[in-house]
Each structure stands twice: as C-alpha cells, then as structure tokens.
Amino acid sequence: MPSADSRSPSVPAGSSASNPIFVLIGGFLGAGKTTTVARLARHYVDRGLKVAIVTNDQTNDLVDTHSLQQQGYHVGEVAGACFCCNFNELTSTVEKLTAEERPDVILAEPVGSCTDLVATVLRPLVQVYQQPFDMRPYGVIIKPSHGLRILKGQEKSGFSPKAAYIFEKQIEEADFVVINRIDELKPEQVQELTRLLNDKFPGRPILRMSARTGEGFDAYIDFLQQTGEFGRRVMELDYDIYADGEAELGWLNSNISVRSEQEIALDDLLLSIVQRLKTSLAAEQAETAHLKAIGLWEGFYGVANLVSSFNDAELSLPSHARIKEAQVVVNARVAIDPERLTELVRAAVAEASGALGATTEFLSVQSFRPGRPVPTHRITEPLAQ
Ligand SMILES: Nc1nc2c(ncn2[C@@H]2O[C@H](COP(=O)(O)OP(=O)(O)OP(=O)(O)O)[C@@H](O)[C@H]2O)c(=O)[nH]1
Ligand SMILES: [Mg+2]
C-alpha cells in the first residue's frame, strides 16, 4: 500500500493506511452504476491506490462481476440476496478482499431495485460492524429516461406506482444525486430533470455526468472527496410497497456455452440476443429495467445492454473477437412472469446463435421474482452527535 505521502494531491482526503475509503454507488437498475464503478476504479488505480469492488445480486452468474473482473479489478460478489438482507456476507466479503489485498478504496454496488440502504447497510457498517471505514457521501445515479417518466408522473412511469416508489425512496435517502447519460441529453432535458428533482427533493445536491464519456466526472470525484455527516438520511419506508414493487420484476441469470464450427463475431451474437429479446418482450408489453449479456473467450469480453423498452439495444463494450466457442452470461430484469422470461431468453439465445451457425447449451438458469426484503439490521434512530 502506498504511503500517504506518495499519493497525488487528487487522492481523496482522509484516506489512510488503516481506514479504507468506502463508496456505495446507488441507483435503479440500468442507471449506470457498474460503468461508474469501473471509471471510479480506474481513477483511483491511476493514482496508485488499491481498489476492491463488491458486487451484489439475488443469485450468481452476474454480468457485472464478470465485466469488472475482465477489466482487471479485484471483485468480491455477494450473491443470494441483497447487501441489506445478506449483511454478514457483505462484511465477510469485505474482510476477504481486505485480507487478500488491503485495499485503499472499496467500491460497493448494491442491487438496483434496493432502497433503505442508509438504514440497512451504511449505518450498520458504522455502528454494528464498527470497521473504521472512511465513509464517503452516498450518491444515487439516475437513468434520465426513467427519472423523467416517473417525476413527470407519466403513464408507464417505471413499471408501476410501486416500482416508482422505490425509485423515489432511493433518491430520498441519497446525500446527492447524479443525472447520468448527459452525453445523450439536450441541455433542456437536463434542465427539466434538474427542476423536477429540485421540486421533489429541495436542497439535494444534483450532479450531471456521463459515466461513459467522463463528462462531469471531475465534479463527481470532488463530491466524493468530502467527509462529514453523510449516509445519515434514514427515512420512513413501507416494506409492503417496497416488496411488491420488487416482486413485479422477473429476474433471470443464465450461463450459456456457445460453440460454432466456423468463427463467428462474438459481438454480433451478444447484440443479436439482446435485440431479439427486446422484440419478443415488446410483443408481450413487458417493460424492461435492464437486459445485459456478456460474452467471454480467452481474455476477450464484450457486453451488450438494453436499459429500457424505449432504448435501442447497444454494444457497450465490444470484444472485436471472432470465436468458435465462448461463455455467454445473460441477466434480465423485466416486468414479466419469470417462467415466461426464461422461455423468451432461451428462444432469443437459440435464434441468435442459430442465425450465426452456432449451437448453445444452457449450463445454468435461475429465474424468480425477488423475495420480500428482510434486512439483517435496520437502524433508524438519529445518530448520537
Ligand atoms: N450513453 C451512455 N450510456 C451509459 C452511460 N452510463 C452507462 N451507460 C450504459 O448504460 C448501460 C447500463 O449501465 P450499467 O453501468 O451496467 O448500469 P447499472 O446501474 O450497473 O445496471 P444494473 O447493475 O443492472 O442495475 C450500459 O449499456 C452502459 O454502457 C452514460 O453516461 N452514457
Ligand atoms: Mg451494475
């Protein structure tokens, strides 16, 4: 670990050998958390700091874990339940990462449909786990298309009123919010979203960023430099509405082996899977929160995504690889019955592979509706000053 003296002036204030920086990166499904985590990790690594990342999902075979590992980062995955319901697994994963590499910075990405993270994760980390973390402000990243529809009260505003409730509760507990994807927005759209956020959450700091291009990222880093009274906005939360909102989503993780006699373009396969799913889900009027597919072969990797039913499928990380075999991991979070989702994913994978002359074998598929959140700890009383 570098000594404090050897660090550049832009190293976050307050970091020390004994107190790793802890940053929780919140935001709804597909908001840009993993893209932000990767950019943050690069920022810290470039300044000589050791970074560990904790990912989280309801089950294993998580695209984000593969993607961040392929980008060269040290990743621990908390699988099986969200951080709040699996708090002990979160702390044991942090301990394992710490024992392996003594990170200076820990970046943690919670499940995108989770809220109440201040009371169930950040406060317990400080008050129960009592690790001397250097806790940084809790920021929640917003996918503009989703945020605008909900805050304007439009129909189909983020799946349902219950799912919109989760989105708004995520913002309510945030120390600051980040309007992401500004590379795609007109200035007036940024202004409109800013105004809507200000009206609903007066006084909440709002940053604007593109996690993809890096625009606005310096201000985000500056915000994270701050230490102080952060991660303290505990709130009222109706767990019945929260549980129902989460359970509206069909959740699917799958791991697939692909083989072909002739070389095929891995990126074409990934994009075709996601495009076909977009079409078949639209035919069933099932709204997508996030579809992601990663293809892996001998150090090459590519990722395709669909972040809403209103967006196009896109190749976010091209592999440029031509392959005769590959591992493909597909994750889908869609407002549809999970069994039907499984059928549609199987069909999309088979058709996309078949069209390229490849064959596939599903090595694992897990699909379900998220269960009711039952946090290990929930600390809502005010902190003693
Ligand atoms: N144009 C654009 N795309 C972005 C930006 N940030 C993220 N994306 C894309 O949005 C998609 C989702 O990004 P992720 O970082 O995977 O989102 P996430 O919040 O981690 O998603 P979940 O883990 O599923 O909740 C990917 O295709 C990204 O490349 C951005 O600033 N601009
Ligand atoms: Mg992610």
Atom of ligand 1 nearest to the CA of 333: 24
pLDDT at 8 over 50: no
Ligand 1 in contact with 112 (CB < 6 A)?
yes
Ligand 1 in contact with 311 (CB < 6 A)?
no
5 CA from centroid of ligand 2 (Å) = 34
User: Mean pLDDT throughout 365-382?
Assistant: 94
Res 82: pLDDT? 95
User: Mean pLDDT throughout 226-252?
Assistant: 94
Q: Tell me what percent of the residues of the chain surpass a pLDDT of 90.
A: 88
Rounded CA-CA distance 121/140 in Å is: 14
Residue owning the nearest CA to atom 2 of ligand 1: 181
User: Mean pLDDT throughout 361-373?
Assistant: 97
For the segment 87-127, what is each residue's pLDDT rounded down to a tens digit?
999 999 999 999 999 999 999 999 999 999 999 999 999 99
32 CA from centroid of ligand 1 (Å) = 3
Rounded CA-CA distance 344/24 in Å is: 33
Res 384: pLDDT? 63
Band (158; pLDDT cuts 50, 70, 90)? low
Band (329; pLDDT cuts 50, 70, 90)? very high
57 CA from centroid of ligand 2 (Å) = 9
Mean pLDDT of the chain: 93
User: Mean pLDDT throughout 262-281?
Assistant: 98
Res 90: pLDDT? 97
pLDDT at 154 over 80: no
Contact 345, 63 (CB under 8 A): no
SS3 state at 278: helix
For the segment 35-49, what is each residue's pLDDT rounded down to a tens digit?
999 999 999 999 999
Contact 75, 69 (CB under 8 A): yes
Q: Can you state the percent helix, strand and coil of the chain, rounding each to 5?
A: 35, 25, 35
Q: Tell me what percent of the residues of the chain surpass a pLDDT of 70.
A: 93
pLDDT at 251 over 80: yes
User: Mean pLDDT throughout 148-153?
Assistant: 91
The most distant pair of C-alpha atoms in the chain lies apart, rounded to whole Å, by 67
Q: Which has the closest alpha carbon to 84: 382, 377, 370, 381?
A: 377
Residue 92: what residue type?
A: S
**H or E segment and range at residue 68:** helix 63-70
Contact 318, 287 (CB under 8 A): no
236 CA from centroid of ligand 2 (Å) = 26
